[in-house]
Structure 1
Amino acid sequence: MSHITQSVWVAGASGLVGRALLQELLRTPLQVHALVRKPIAELESSPRLRQHRVDLRRADLGGPLPPAHALYICLGSTIAQAGSREAFHAVDHDAVLNVARAARVLGVRRCAVVSALGADRHSAVFYNRVKGEMEESLRGLGFERLVIARPSLLDGERAALGQPSRLAERCTLALLRPLSGLIPARWRPVRAQRVARAMMLALSQRGPAVQVLESAELQTLGAS
């Protein structure tokens, strides 16, 4: 058995991209630490996967965590799911920053995060503005390498993961899937597995301090 020398954190392991990311990471020799709000029985069973219960509202996440060399953040919600704009901001901005800051305190130097197509802190659209503010806040933490993934509509089966249904997303996917070959790659729904693979590959490579992967790049890089 190969000796495990490196470990990673994954925040948001219960979501579409987070679950796909776990599957990909567990094919490597890495030790994977899933940061969860409550234990998730459905996560993959592996001696190299540990769940750590954290409080995403706290700057220290509620307690000591093992060191890691890289961090993957796949946290995300919708305004409808969160219940209010304030609650959405608390998840998609504040919780993301709490995880990232806690990682930096422990010396983590590489980070990949799931954002969204159209993220822009100056956007008139609240969702896109929060995502843009989150990106800007992460840039200020001084990661040696920060990979920002901006997928278009995520394609995957949330029900199979025990996630709440997103009616608008489900209806849009039903309409777009048959037409995917006709839709430009930037706007085409992207499979969660492709996003996960692209994030892993980009973070493992040399590159600029901040690299933004738009959805078309995620489609291409994640297909390899």
Structure 2
Amino acid sequence: MEQIRIETATAMEKSHGRAVLVAGATGLVGREIVAILLADKMNRVVHCVGRRPLALRHPRLQSHVVDFAALPVLPRMDDCFIALGTTIKVAGSQAGFCAIDLDAVVAVARAAQSAGATNFGVISAMGANPKSSVFYNRTKGEMELALANMGLTSLVIARPSLLDGDRAALGRPERGGEGFGLVLARRLRPLIPANYRAISAQDVAHALVRAVRAARPGVVTLMSGEMQGPG
């Protein structure tokens, strides 16, 4: 009898909208994903997991402070967005970088899968390749491969080029050379192939959310050029 009551409650919750998880909601793309999800009333709750609480407040937003190396059991959910990422400078070492950009991403995906998520979206990077001689690209490639091997129902991998956005508003330092690179990229935009142009975090977020909503079975990779907005 108790089992029937629980199943009925779960079905009722799903009928009133989707439950969504966002990991990395304090980052450039993550904050845009959260804004898009909260604006969509089809999402009854947006759970955000991170190493620090969100300053943002919203009736349908729940912020959870977690240790990615020891994640708790996550609430039931339908969709999962992972926008975790750091730099070696901030992480302090290659091992520290891997702990976030590889280990934490995979840990969240596994926990979300156990919590019922079927549709996944993850932020990777242009050049991701598990066989690359470049550490950054190799780590991103290993992350993609690990998720692809998990047997997820629907996985969308976004590979943006240089991200254009206001990191200062997030209280984060500008990454080395990015300021100059963005200025140059904006001036030379018409001459740069679409996949290598700087791309706004908002464009990436919108493209990823749309693709995850489409719930295409298997693995879908979004290249930077595909995610570019008009202009």
With the length of structure 2 as denominator, give the TM-score of the two structures: 0.89
Which residue of structure 2 aligns with residue 148 of structure 1? Answer: 157
Q: Residue 52 of structure 2: which of 38, 43, 46 is its match?
A: 38
Which residues of structure 1 form unaligned runs of 5+?
Answer: none
C-alpha change, 1:74 and 1:206, in structure 2 (3 Å) is closer
1:170-212 CA-to-partner distances (Å, cap 9, x unmatched) read 2211221122222111100000000000001011114241000
Return the alpha-carbon distance in structure 2 between the equivalents of residues 167 and 40 of structure 1: 26
Q: Where does structure 2 lack aligned partners over 5 or more consecutive residues? A: 1-14
1:15 aligns with 2:24: no
Q: Which SS does the other structure have where 1:33 is aligned?
A: strand
Task: State the SS of the aligned residue for 1:186.
Answer: helix
Runs of 4+ in 1 over 4 A off after TM superposition: none
With 31-40 and 147-156 compared, the bigger mean Cα shift is at 31-40
- SS for the counterpart of 2:69 is coil
Deviation at 1:65, TM superposition (A): 2.4
Q: Is the 8 A contact 2:155 2:218 kept in 1?
A: yes
After superposition, give the CA deviation of every residue in 1:134-153 in whole Å (9 maximum; x if it has no partner): 00000111110000000000
Instruction: Give CA-to-partner distance per residue, 1:79-109, whole Å, 9 cap, x none.
Output: 1221111100111000001101111111211
Partner of 1:185: 194
Determine which of 174, 197, 201 is the counterpart of 1:165: 174
Q: Which residue of 2 aligns with 1:71?
A: 80
From 107, 113, 132, the counterpart of 1:123: 132
Q: Distance in 1 between matches of 2:103 and 2:214?
A: 28
Contact 1:104 1:141 in 2 (8 A): no
Residues in 1 aligned to 2:96 and 2:47: alpha-carbon distance in whole angstroms: 26
User: Quick check: which has more Rg, 1 or 2?
Assistant: 2
Assess if the C-alpha contact under 8 Å between 1:194 and 1:219 holds in 2: yes
Aligned to 2:5: none
Letter in 2 for 1:177: R
Residue type of the partner of 2:172?
Answer: Q
Corresponding position of 1:92: 101
Question: What code does the residue aligned with 1:83 have?
Answer: G
Root-mean-square deviation (Å): 1.3
TM-score by length of 1: 0.92
Whole-angstrom distance in 1 between the partners of 2:87 and 2:154: 27
Partner residue of 2:68? Answer: 56
CA distance in 2, matches of 1:64, 1:163: 30
Change (3 A) 1:181 1:46: same
Alignment of 1:101-140 (within 5 A): 101-140=110-149
Q: Which amino acid aligns with 2:59?
A: P
Give the share of equivalent positions with the same residue, in percent: 49
Checking the alignment, whether the CA contact within 8 Å between 1:121 and 1:133 is kept in structure 2 is yes
Count, aligned residues: 214
For residues 2-28 of structure 1, the C-alpha deviation after alignment (integer angstroms, 9 at most, x for no partner) is x84211000000000001111111110
State the 1:113 CA deviation: 0.1
